[in-house]
Amino acid sequence: MVNHSRTTKDSRKYGATMDTAVQTLGEPKIDSPLDSAYFVEDSERVLHSASAEEICREVNAGREPISFVKAGPRRKIYFDPSKLKCAIVTCGGLCPGLNNVIRSVVLTLFHTYGVRNVVGIMYGLQGFIPRHGHAVMELNPSTVAQIHELGGTILSTSRGPQDPSEIVDALERMNIGLLFVLGGDGSFRAGLKIADEVANRGAKIGVVGIPKTIDNDINFLSRSFGFNTAVSMATRAIGSAHVEALGSPNGVGLVKLMGRQSGFIAAWASLAQRDANLVLIPESDFDIDGPHGLLAWLEKRLERRKHAVIVVAEGAGQKYCSEEGTDPSGNVKLGDIGWYLKDRIDDHFKEKGIEMNIKYIDPSYMIRSVPANADDAVFCGFLGQKAVHAGIAGKTSVVIGTWNDEYVLIPIRLVVQGRKQVDLKDRLWTSVLEATGQPSLKPEKEEEGRQVIN
């Protein structure tokens, strides 16, 4: 018997028991219309840990290793496709691949299962609330035929909380049996409240999440769609900053990238382009002033190499520029670290009487709004298919994602326990440090005897 619920080292990090059990609306009794599919059984699991050492330690202690339910088509399904009505909603900020996922969900519902009634909820969760007056969009293979070539989302989106009871009222009025939520951490928190309200009413409405965040910071998921496209676009910005830095005396290229709490885009893009000399992310604190701070480092860098490229994630250095309050999604408001650093660097070198030319690049909105690249497009297609398989089979309050190179079902309750962040001791960040040669910008974190080549 595989353990679905136990407190582990990972789960203690998030302060809760790591419960991987998947909720269902009821017993699936209908034969799947799929003729030649490889059906997945609920007993098929994907291990949480890929470490043979950790697995052996669990087994030797008499415990079954924690695992996730494998995603895929089931032999028996819960909903009758001929009578099912589905809804799709996109929430939060824009992200490459949203239209690809919408298209995949619609095509799978229509062509694989024969569902003929699918609607898109306009402008995020606002679309459920009558006072906003947003109409729904009918979705079918014709309406989604070419949308994967477009950036953004044909359903539009919005931020901000809405009353779960009003949302479930709308779902019941529209006779929706299955809701697909495309969003990130905040959207999944809303999805969990919707699923809980559905359960409290004893209703039979499935809620399936499909992870959307450029930052790649969704808990317990290896990857979220749009991230690879964002990294590809970000590398171009870093390359442009490098060209600009080389093009003038003491040139500095400063690039701000997405990453509120996690620096994955900054780290991966810097490794892909290898033109960055300093990478600043939310997980790693740094000083600006003082003998070990950013400004002192930059002086030495320009004296030695005559140019520099700095990459900063938007959530880095908030101790210098954070704002009060939260945004409509409930996130702590961020100060603009990019402009703050630009101004500080400008002022510092003017005071020193040192010629310096800085070019500031913020490609954030350009990155968010582009169509998905080929790799993300394929990934979006799989996510949409797996989401439909799960929902039709009666799985609810789950997110579709990848773990250890397998598609799995993760309970929403587990996903929203925390944010995934860059591990400063893992190979990703140590590779960034090796590629940039950057020193610690905190005196107490300096490594004795470390050779810095920049």
Q: What proportion of the chain, given as a percentage, has pLDDT over 90?
A: 78
Residues 241 and 308 in one domain: yes
The answer, as to whether pTM is greater than 0.75, is yes
Q: Which of 19, 163, 215, 287 is catalytic?
A: 215
At 18 the pLDDT is 74
pLDDT of residue 444: 57
- What's the whole-number mean pLDDT along residues 115-125? 97
Please say if the pLDDT value at position 330 is more than 80: no
**Do residues 354 and 382 share a domain?**
no
Q: Mean pLDDT throughout 276-295?
A: 96
Residues 314 and 358 placed together within one structural domain of the fold: yes
In-domain check, residue 450: no
* Domain identity same for 350 and 403: no
State the distance between the two ends of the chain, measured CA to CA, in whole angstroms. Answer: 53
Same-domain check for residues 410 and 269: no
pLDDT, average across residues 331-360 = 94
In this prediction, residue 63 carries a pLDDT of 67
What CATH number corresponds to the domain at position 166?
A: 3.40.50.450
Closest CA to 307 of 245, 238, 247, 240: 245
Do 166 and 61 fall within a single domain? yes
Percentage of the chain surpassing pLDDT 70?
89
Is the pLDDT at 449 greater than 80, yes or no?
A: no
Type of residue numbered 103: R
User: Domain check: are 436 and 292 in the same one?
Assistant: yes
- Rounded Cα distance, 372 and 367, in Å: 10
Say yes or no to pLDDT of 323 above 70.
yes
Residues 199 and 267 in one domain: no
Q: Look at residue 449 and tell me if it is in a domain.
A: no
Of the listed ranges 42-46, 47-51, 302-306, 413-417, the least confidently predicted one is 47-51
**Given pLDDT bands bounded at 50, 70 and 90, which one contains residue 53?**
low
Assign residue 276 the CATH number of its domain. Answer: 3.40.50.460
Look at residue 172 in the predicted model and tell me its pLDDT: 98
pLDDT-based confidence at residue 356 (cuts at 50, 70, 90) = very high
CA Rg value for the chain: 24
| One-letter-per-residue 3-state SS of the chain | CCCCEECCHHHHHCCCCEECCCEECCCCCEECCCCCCCCCCCCCEEECCCCHHHHHHHHHCCCCCCEEEECCCCCEECCCCCCCEEEEEECCCCCCCHHHHHHHHHHHHHHHCCCCEEEEECCHHHHHCHHHCCCCEEECCCCCCCHHHCCCCCCCCCCCCCCHHHHHHHHHHCCCCEEEEEECHHHHHHHHHHHHHHHHHCCCCEEEEEEECCCCCECCCCCCECHHHHHHHHHHHHHHHHHHHHCCCCEEEEEEECCCCCCHHHHHHHHHHCCCCEEECCCCCCCCCCCCCHHHHHHHHHHHHCEEEEEEECCCCHHHHCCCCECCCCCECCCCHHHHHHHHHHHHHHHHCCCCEEEEECCHHHHHCCCCCHHHHHHHHHHHHHHHHHHHCCEECEEEEEECCEEEEEEHHHHCCCECCCCCCCHHHHHHHHHHCCCCCCHHHCCCCCCCCC
Query: Whole-number mean pLDDT of the chain?
Result: 90
Q: Are residues 270 and 398 in the same domain?
A: no
Residue 262 lies in a domain: yes
C-alpha span between 288 and 308 (Å, rounded):
16
pLDDT at 333: 83
Residue 454 in domain: no
- pLDDT for position 51: 61
pLDDT digits (tens, 9 = 90+) for 182-229: 998 889 999 999 999 999 999 999 999 999 988 999 888 888 999 999
* Least-confidence region, from 27-31, 213-217, 278-282: 213-217
- Both 195 and 290 in one domain: the answer is no
Annotate 281-316 with b (16+ C-beta within 10 A) or e (fewer).
bbbbebbbeeebebbbbbbebbeeeebbbbbbbbbb
Q: How many domains does the chain have?
A: 2
Q: What is the per-residue pLDDT for 50?
A: 60
Q: Is residue 32 part of a domain?
A: yes
Residues 211 and 277 in one domain: no
Q: What is the rounded CA–CA span in Å between residue 144 and residue 153? A: 11
Query: Does 215 participate in catalysis according to the annotation?
Result: yes
Task: Look at residue 16 in the predicted model and tell me its pLDDT.
Answer: 40
Average pLDDT (339-356) is: 96
Mean pLDDT of 61-69: 77
Asked whether residue 215 falls in the same domain as residue 283, the answer is no
Full domain range(s) for residue 254: 229-365+424-443
Calpha distance 27→34 (Å, rounded): 19
Residue 453 located in a structural domain: no
- Give the pLDDT mean for 132-148: 97
pLDDT tops 80 at residue 290: yes
Spatial distance between the Cα atoms of 144 and 158, rounded to a whole number of angstroms:
21
